[in-house]
Amino acid sequence: MEEAKTNMPLLGDVFPELTVQTTHGPMNIPGDLKGSWFVLFSHPADFTPVCTTEFVAFQKRVPEFEELGCKLIGMSIDQVFSHIKWVEWIKEELKIDITFPIVAANDAVAMKLGMLHPGKGTNTVRAVFIVDPQSKVRLIMYYPQEVGRNMDEVVRAVKALQIADTQGAVAAGWPDNELIGDRIIVPPATDVETAKKRPDEYECFDWWFCHKPLGK
């Protein structure tokens, strides 16, 4: 019997086509989300403590994601009935209404996205895919089951990608970088003439390390 192959999309790839059942009904991903940024994140299992804290944290940041034109989608290999009951429990017991869909994936879908890591058991690991309006994968993060994610970093990553698309590179820890704060890094010069002009045009540590105000 041929072993199932673990795959994962690479940065810049078009997100794999998936037809799935969710708590909001059937979905085609990424087709139904074309033209919008989205974050698809997997969790190991419903009715588990760390995953519950993550879902509450994601829900509390829905307004921030909406402001960025970004949609949220959860996913695990639990059945949709389990997802529905878990969402009901969160609303009843924690007074949080989960408004984003949760995908009921099967092993084939999870393997297609590289969410099943044999060394970490049979549940999906904590994967995060940030996908742009052209359905291209822009950022991927994987966490083990025992470590919950930082949702502020997911929000920051979406913001940073959107800014990088229009203004330039984003520094470490942006918008609180130790050297340049929330300023944007200017792409390094690639010829001698441009390199000579850079210190006159921007604030620079050197011609290859120049920066400008956000929004300029």
Decide if 70 is catalytic. Answer: no
The rounded distance, in Å, linking the Cα atoms of 111 and 6 is 5
Domain boundaries, the chain: 18-150, 167-216
Reported in sequence order, the residue ranges of the chain that DSSP labels E, i.e. its strands, are 18-22, 25-29, 37-42, 70-76, 102-104, 126-131, 137-143, 184-186, 203-206, 209-212
Full pLDDT tens readout for the chain, 216 residues:
334 455 788 899 999 999 999 999 999 999 999 999 999 999 888 999 999 999 999 999 999 999 999 999 999 888 999 999 999 999 999 999 999 999 998 878 877 887 767 676 656 778 899 999 999 999 999 888 888 889 999 999 999 999 999 999 999 999 999 999 999 999 989 999 999 999 999 999 999 999 999 987
Kindly name the residue from 51, 70, 204, 210 that is annotated as catalytic: 51
**Residue 3: predicted pLDDT:** 43
Which superfamily is assigned to 18-150 in CATH? Glutaredoxin (3.40.30.10)
Domain 167-216, CATH 3.30.1020.10 — does that match? yes
Residues 6 or more apart whose Cβ sits within 8 Å of residue 122: 116
Closest by alpha carbon to 16, among 114, 118, 99? 114
The rounded distance, in Å, linking the Cα atoms of 77 and 83 is 10
**Residue 215: predicted pLDDT:** 85
